[in-house]
Structure 1
Amino acid sequence: MIKRLLWVSMFFLMPFLVYGQDEGVFWKITGNGLREPSYLFGTIHLICMEDYHLSDEVVKKIQKADALILEVDMDDPWLALSMMAKMHNEGGEEITDYLTEEEYQETRRLLKERTGTDIEMLKSMRPLMLMSLIYPSLLECETKAYENELLKHAKEKNKEIYGLESIDEQLSIFDRIPLEEQYRSFYEYTGNLEKGKKEFRRLIETYKNEEIALLVKMVSESPEYRDYQDILLDQRNRNWIRPMREFMEKGSVFFAVGAGHLGGKSGIIQLLKSEGYELKRIPTGRPSVANSHSDPPIN
């Protein structure tokens, strides 16, 4: 449950900006005085097992690196406690403070039908955490998380594990978005889960094709987060550059962050280039999915 909550938090922190850039999810970082190359890998935080692919080249680079750097340190023994402490609204606000009785009962019924969970006792749970209840029925498949698999490979070779931000920092980002908007988005999402399924399928196909610009464009069309690009993306990317530089100056490291963080003028690739680093794309060996970009729009 805790790991599912973490995947969902990272999924909703994907970026929302379109900008011309190189495509690709796996990159070699050199230059700017580095003694050894480091690597940058873009993930999708939840994916169906049948769509999961991790090339031997990626695994080899993880196992050769000195450390694995994720968005948050998933090897932290205090991670579960930190997540539990953030499950409910700090001020005691409840979903019924923001939805009408009719809207609440409709949402409660839909969740009970699709997930078997009655949210009557979870009224003060944060919208992000409530979303985690939906995902098993939304995906309708056995899932894998890239971060979890990368972590396994790193630990097999006794590599150090670090994070670019703490879980408290990551979850506190949502405190800057009004609860009313978050609960309203949650209500609208639960009311149209079929649309959510189609959108997620397109997202996966786009990731498999490593079409970063299209992936970002798709997420950018989400109206509930359109006004929070700087909070959810730009500031976080800029904050990550200094620790990334410090890690790379110590040795060869392997960074793994959400794929959407790579693109855009405020994306990791462009920010690292502006710092003087050279980035070269490495093929992942995944067969492309033909015509994923030609899918009809979802209404």
Structure 2
Amino acid sequence: MRKILILIFISGLSFTAFSQKNIYKITGNGISKPSYLFGTFHILCKEDFSMSRSFLDKISETEQLALELDMDDPQLMMKTYKGMVMQGDSTMKMLLSPEKYQFVAKTMKDSMQINLRSVEKVKPYMVYAMVMPKLLTCDVLSIENELVKVFSNQKKETVGLEEVADQLAVFDLIPYKDQANELAEGLEDLPLARKELRESVELYKLGNYEEILKLSSKKEGVMVKYESELLTNRNKNWIPKIIKMASEKPTFFAVGAGHLVGNEGLISLLKQKGYEVELIKQFAD
């Protein structure tokens, strides 16, 4: 489970961490004004969060914010709840053996104050996203929400690169039973899960996206088959939208850090289309 939770956090779900180390400027191919691209990691303590002056200056140069999802959508919460539910009559109790079910229920209640009965119909990998913030002994925040506030205060629009239904439908491709068993396996060693999560967050704060991806690529279990659904295919779907948005107006793109790097990451795909993607390093102030 630990490898998949890292992959999920860098591919885009609910809680988002913050690094100002790696921000990329997109130019070329007829773009009149630069757009910017930076990666998020989906969990961070509040005390680790800040926006530098130079970071805010780059935001002020753009005219809209593009996230994975349109956080301004008034129907977002309802759509998210709908997309988190398993299809058919599947429940967590049906997916796990009685022994594993009791273990998961007890661990989640004792260690995380989460009642398993309340998420019986939720896709198990979505339960990961609920569990992981509990591994950090701090208050967490969503940088996506913070960015939306900044752009809203500047009277600028927020848009999305994909629909909630499309994002969460990825987890219908992965057998629910496999998801549930990986959840149970991951809960068996919480101290190690906490350690690896902290290591991943520290790598992210250093701007070392490649190392995070390497950590997640030490693949285990069912995720060997589904990494392309979580990252690669979504990247390819986003590229035409990113190009169109950047061509129409300067845009600040903020997506999971795992989408940026690698041979089929957004940076590489944009360069293949003839765009210049330049790393900007002055954001550590």
When normalised by structure 1's length, the TM-score is: 0.85
- CA offsets, 1:205-254, max 9 Å, x none? 10111112101101112414222121111110011000001001111111
- CA offsets, 1:122-147, max 9 Å, x none? 32222133224323421111112221
* Residues 174 and 12 of structure 1, relative CA distance in 2, 3 Å threshold: farther
* Residues 12 and 207 of structure 1, relative CA distance in 2, 3 Å threshold: closer
Match of 1:254 in 2: 252
Match of 2:109 in 1: 112
C-alpha separation between the residues in 2 aligned to 1:66 and 1:172?
Answer: 30
Q: Equivalent residue of 1:266, what SS? A: coil
Return 5+ residue gaps in structure 2 as ranges.
13-20
Match of 1:43 in 2: 40
The question of 1:64 aligning with 2:76 is answered no
C-alpha separation between the residues in 2 aligned to 1:166 and 1:145?
Answer: 19
Of 121, 125, 138, the match for 2:122: 125
Contact 2:10 2:41 in 1 (8 A): no
Contact 1:95 1:183 in 2 (8 A): yes
Deviates more, 1:179-188 or 1:219-228: 219-228
Match of 1:276 in 2: 274
- CA offsets, 1:181-202, max 9 Å, x none? 1111111112222111111101
Task: Give the letter aligned to residue 152 of structure 1.
Answer: K
Size of the aligned set, in residue pairs, is: 272
* Residues 221 and 53 of structure 1, relative CA distance in 2, 3 Å threshold: farther
The question of 1:169 aligning with 2:166 is answered yes
Contact 1:11 1:46 in 2 (8 A): no
Contact 1:55 1:285 in 2 (8 A): yes
When normalised by structure 2's length, the TM-score is: 0.89
Deviates more, 1:107-116 or 1:43-52: 43-52
The question of 1:27 aligning with 2:24 is answered yes
Alignment of 1:129-208 (within 5 A): 129-208=126-205
Per the TM alignment, residue 284 of structure 1 is displaced from its structure 2 partner at its CA by 4.7
Q: Equivalent residue of 1:181, what SS? A: helix
Return 5+ residue gaps in structure 1 as ranges.
1-7, 16-23, 288-299
C-alpha separation between the residues in 2 aligned to 1:239 and 1:97?
Answer: 34
Per the TM alignment, residue 92 of structure 1 is displaced from its structure 2 partner at its CA by 1.8
Percent identity reads: 36
C-alpha separation between the residues in 2 aligned to 1:120 and 1:41?
Answer: 37
Match of 1:216 in 2: 213
Task: Give the letter aligned to residue 66 of structure 1.
Answer: E
Contact 1:10 1:45 in 2 (8 A): no
Deviates more, 1:174-183 or 1:142-151: 142-151
* Residues 265 and 119 of structure 1, relative CA distance in 2, 3 Å threshold: same
Of 93, 97, 101, the match for 2:94: 97
